[in-house]
A and B are shown apart, each in its own frame.
Chain A
Amino acid sequence: MLGYATKRLLLAIPTLFLVALIVFFLVRLIPGDPAQVMLGEGASQQAIAALHAQLGLDKPVPVQFVSWLGRALTGDLGTSSITGQPVGALILSRFQVTAIVVLVSIALATLIAIIAGMIAAWRQHSQIDLAVLGAASFILAIPSFWLGLLLLLLFGVTLHWLPVVGYVPFSESPSAAILFLILPITTLTISETGVLTRMMRSSAIDVLRLDYVTHARAKGLPERTVLARHVFPNAFAPTMTLVGLTLGRCFGGIAVIETVFTLPGLGRLMVDSVLARDYPVVQGCLLFVAALYVLVNLVVDLLYPLFDPRVGLS
């Protein structure tokens, strides 16, 4: 197991290096100079030039890249050129918000997808199957942030059940924090359930056709056991890979939902730092998200044999 994990991590290095390269140069191509942005429109040319030098932006770009990457390998992602905060701490604190929302939502979405997908496959071409597929197609058609806005409008503005916007960190009061997370989690869960359900349904259909399912039934096992012990493990394996990909994508990609619900998450941080040309934070975030993406996919692959022993850790 360990050998396989290290091999996979070694293979991921070229990808991560490429990500670092793309981020570093892409951000510098964006017009607008960080020093200028920070000092605002009234600042004098000398002040801008001075800050420019202080941020080390006057050195040739390759030199900046090497020094940044060298320090990043030792874990020091530098400090935000706007707030001076260490980038590492900034990312972790903002990641806490995103992680809670993404993990809980994807777990719920997976659970719903398993149940709905299995039932639909079990009763293929029946009314239930049609309903499940219809619902999945409908969910896939709704923009996630519009869904968020509607939920906000319904529960926040009209029914006043839930706070409209804002965020209370867990440290201050867990109970209040949960109130703020209900709507974002619901939005993300709904928007991710569609894809997972379709995937679970189609892989369950494949498995239901195979002989060992009929064999299990021929042993006299009740349908419940046949589905749970024989169909589910084999059908869940491909869906789990998709769950891994979704997790990887969402950790960096729910900036839109974070904007709707004003959550200070990682996505929001990335969008703001790109717009504010805060190079160190942008670089740190994207490297963090890329590393997370690789890690999540590795974990999923390590869990894979749990469901499909044929896939040995070659």
Chain B
Amino acid sequence: MRARIHLVLGFGLVGLLVSVILVSFVWLPYDPLAIDLDHTLAPPSLMHWFGTDEFGRDVASRAMLGARISSFIALQTVVITIVAGTLFGLIAGFLRGWTERLVMTVSDALLAFPGILLALALIAVIGQSRHSIVIALGIAYLPSVIRVVRAATLSIREREFIEASRASGDGALYTMWRHVLPNVLPPVLILATSLFGWVVLSESALSFLGVGVPAPIPTWGNMLSSARPYMASASWLSIAPGLCIVATLLGINMLGDALRDRLDPREAN
């Protein structure tokens, strides 16, 4: 019963996000980049659903465009991290020996870094752009994917069908590809949903520290951080992007829960 509610809510919210993104390709209430210095900091109205920002730009249009940019950044990061993390985690968990020690030492070293700091330093080196954010956050979250994949590989590695496959003469690579990888996917898929959330949150944190996606391209993160000085005088500026983040992440989390119920036997009674 619970799984169904999570599924419905999850699909609802994610569906809303996807439709907003699709619409943003075709139509936006206003040009998100056009400034109007005579109507700065206008409160929400029929003309401007979420009001205007400090440059008179329409917050609603920027939130819609921001949805597309933030989601694409998160998607790209998740794909890169999952692919690289699975590769390394698989090798570490299956081959063990010095490869495992090498991969785990490097990943522990990266994990010892506070994620946001590592990203900040990497962005400062590569320069601020959407791609640098994707690379920086990718590296920052790589260790957590490696950890999950290695743990899953270790438990699968002990299963008898792996021994059967090796006994029938399959090579290590073939066994990893044919038998271990498909069984590692469920936990990785569940991790991917929470990873999407973490990346959106991290991008907004980086914007807050001044190194997020550069202006004037809107992301929820940089809209939220540029709203900080006007907390008292124009509070709606921070409400709109905040709500978008919460709605999207709630939807993604719910989907993650539903996925976990279906894939993870423990949850089903």
Residues of A within 8 A of B (CB): 14-16, 18-19, 22, 26-27, 29-31, 124-125, 129-130, 133, 137-138, 140-146, 149-150, 152-153, 157, 202, 205-206, 248-249, 251-253, 255-256, 259-260, 267, 270-271, 274-275, 286, 289-290, 293-294
Contact = CB atoms under 8 A, between A and B. Distances in A.
7 contacts: A15-B112, A129-B2, A143-B245, A146-B204, A146-B238, A146-B245, A202-B267
B155 interface: no
10 closest A-B pairs by beta carbon, nearest first, are: A252-B114, A141-B249, A290-B112, A253-B114, A18-B109, A137-B253, A141-B250, A30-B124, A293-B112, A29-B125
Contact of A289 (B114, B201, B210, B269): B114
Nearest to A202: B266
A312 to B, nearest CB: 19
Contacts, number: 137
A110 B203 CA distance: 27
Given A26-B122, A137-B257, A259 B105 contact: no
Interface in B70-117: 105-106, 108-117
B201 A143 contact: yes
B116 A256 contact: yes
Contacts of B232: 153, 157
B231 A152 contact: yes
Contacts of B257: 133, 137
Contacts of A255: 114, 116-117, 209
A294 B231 contact: no
Given A27-B121, A143-B245, A206-B266, A253 B238 contact: no
Q: Tell me whether chain B's interface is mostly helix, strand or loop, or mixed.
A: helix
A40 B108 CA distance: 38
Given A26-B121, A124-B269, A137-B250, A259 B209 contact: yes
Nearest to B254: A137
A142 B246 contact: yes
Interface of B: 1-2, 5, 105-106, 108-117, 120-122, 124-125, 194, 197, 201, 204-205, 208-210, 224, 228, 231-232, 235, 238, 242, 245-250, 252-254, 257, 266-267, 269
Contacts of B252: 141
A149 B208 CA distance: 12
Nearest to B228: A149
A130 B2 contact: yes
Say whether chain A's binding surface is mostly helix, strand, loop, or mixed.
helix
Contact of A157 (B115, B117, B201, B231): B231
B113 A19 contact: yes
Contacts of B208: 145, 256, 259-260
A26 B120 CA distance: 11
Contact of B114 (A141, A146, A270): A270
Given A141-B249, A143-B245, A146-B245, A15 B121 contact: no
A248 B114 CA distance: 9
A252 B118 CA distance: 11
Contacts of B121: 26-27, 30, 274
B2 A30 contact: no
B231 A274 contact: no
B2 A133 contact: yes
A127 to B, nearest CB: 10
Contacts of A157: 231-232
Given A149-B228, A286-B113, A293-B112, A256 B209 contact: yes
Contacts of B250: 137-138, 141
Nearest to A30: B124
B113 A252 contact: yes
Contacts of B111: 293
B23 to A, nearest CB: 22
Given A141-B249, A143-B242, A146-B245, A289 B231 contact: no
Contacts of A30: 121, 124-125
Contacts of A26: 121-122, 125
Contact of B105 (A15, A137, A260): A15
A206 B105 CA distance: 31
Contacts of A146: 204, 224, 238, 242, 245
Contacts of B113: 19, 22, 252, 286, 289-290
